[in-house]
Copies of this chain bind each other. A is one copy, B any other.
Amino acid sequence: MEVDVLGIKFKNPIVIASGPGGNGRELNEFIDLSKLGGFTTKTITFKPKIGNPPPRIINIDNGVINSIGLENSGFDSFLNDDLPFLNELNTNVIASIGGYNVEEFCYMIKNLNNTNIKIIELNLSCPNVDKGGDTILNDLEETKKIVKQASKISQKPLFVKLGIECNLEELAKIVLENGADGLTLINAPKGTKVNLDKNNPVELSRGFGGVSGPIIKPLALSCIYRVKKIFPDVSIIGMGGVVSKADVLEFLKVGATLVGIGYGVMMDPQLPINIIDDL
């Protein structure tokens, strides 16, 4: 099931979504990453981020609420410590980057231009940091500026990752008109769990986190369907609750070009390979 995305060959449509697979080293101990269509890094930020305090994981029916807070050791450490490992893999690496302003994004993109990574994904939709993409999207002018500047500099195809807590159709239009080559849909929508038995009944220190897993599948499918209706030719990395071959086919059916798996890796690191073997 080879797929061609903007001239890049993916040996199958399955990619690991940003986050749950870390930067690959740990996951590679469980599965052979080279069997994947692609691997997305955990979102890299310019400076290191310590992430949110525990708890970061709240189980819900058919899904999870996470509040990781983009823990990562920063862009320079990524280049030095993680990229050499990723370069060795025989799979397409997608670099997910997050930032607070146009300068940070541009610095990272410039440096990624000289690497082997195949696609750059701007994470403008992380639900778990107080400032960052999530708030950039609320400012349409800032969004335009960042995407325009990023696409000007980037020598790699540029994807923008959006969530559902925005006017999706309008934002998709804005980012595509300003030079994005594709969209990643969807990031985890904001969710809250209340545990009435606890002294502090609203779980998670920020009061909410991002919801992943099969519980968001109907929402994810509709986002892709709606965007694809307006932009029939756009390449989309679709994700949200994919845990089976049937799920993959459903995402392809509504118009995804590649299909990301996040939660599914947490259920069972072997799951993406089982699906690929079955496609």
A208–B221 alpha-carbon span in the complex (Å): 9
A208–B190 alpha-carbon span in the complex (Å): 21
Which B residues touch A211, using CB under 8 A? 218-219
Question: Is A138 a contact of B165 with CB atoms below 8 Å?
Answer: no
Copies of this subunit: 2
Among the listed stretches A10-18, A103-111, A246-254, A257-265, which one makes contact with chain B, having 4 or more residues with CB under 8 Å of it?
Answer: A246-254
Which B residues touch A196, using CB under 8 A? 246, 249-250, 253
Could you give, for residues 174-194 of chain A, a 1 whenever the CB lies within 8 Å of some chain B CB and a 0 otherwise?
Answer: 000000000000000111111
Question: Is B167 a contact of A168 with CB atoms below 8 Å?
Answer: no
Interface size class of A (residues with CB under 8 A): 35 or more
Question: Is B191 a contact of A207 with CB atoms below 8 Å?
Answer: no
Which B residues touch A223, using CB under 8 A? 190
The 8 Å CB contact of A167, one of B65, B167, B169, B189, is B167
Which B residues touch A131, using CB under 8 A? none
Question: Is B207 a contact of A225 with CB atoms below 8 Å?
Answer: yes
Residue A61 interfacial (CB < 8 Å) = yes
Contacts A190-B226, A202-B253 known; list 15 others, CB within 8 Å.
A61-B62, A165-B167, A166-B167, A189-B219, A191-B218, A191-B221, A192-B222, A193-B221, A194-B250, A194-B254, A201-B250, A201-B253, A207-B226, A208-B225, A211-B219
Give chain A's interface residues, CB within 8 Å of chain B.
60-63, 65, 137-138, 164-170, 189-194, 196, 201-202, 207-208, 211, 214-215, 218-219, 221-223, 225-226, 229, 246, 249-250, 253-254
